[in-house]
Amino acid sequence: MWLYISGGFLSIVAHRDLPEFLLVRARHPSHIEALFPEIGINHLLNADYPYRTIVHRTVVARAMEHYVNNMEYDNFKNSVVDEEYHDACLDVWRTMWAYGNRYRNGGV
């Protein structure tokens, strides 16, 4: 799953060898820290997501629940402080707007 939060973009997938755990990946270490502030992060130089950590599924669920329960913004893009990350999120928004617009206008 791709997860966009105010503090960063995460790719969260099932761990291949540990079914009770998830692999949380990011392209910037602060993005993992935004949701998991006290967890260790591994750095892999040649990976598409160079920052990674292994997290128990229940810890991920609790962190996401905490984020949702404490959300106060009414516009996601305006909640993003990091300018470069904001611009990246805006690019995603534009791409998904174009995708949805095809269907809104009767496309298949």
Mean pLDDT by 10 residues, the chain (108 residues): 98 98 98 96 97 98 98 97 97 94 72
Which has the closest alpha carbon to 51: 78, 24, 72?
24
d(C-alpha 59, C-alpha 16), whole Å? 18
pLDDT score of 105: 67
Q: Which domain holds residue 48?
A: 2-104
Q: Domains in the chain: how many in total?
A: 1
pLDDT score of 52: 98
pLDDT score of 43: 98
16 Cβ contact list (under 8 Å, min separation 6)? 23
pLDDT score of 102: 81
pLDDT score of 103: 79
CB-based contact 81:68 (threshold 8 Å): no
pTM score of the predicted model: 0.90
User: Which residue in this structure is represented by tokens 């935004």?
Assistant: 34
Which has the closest alpha carbon to 32: 76, 70, 63?
63
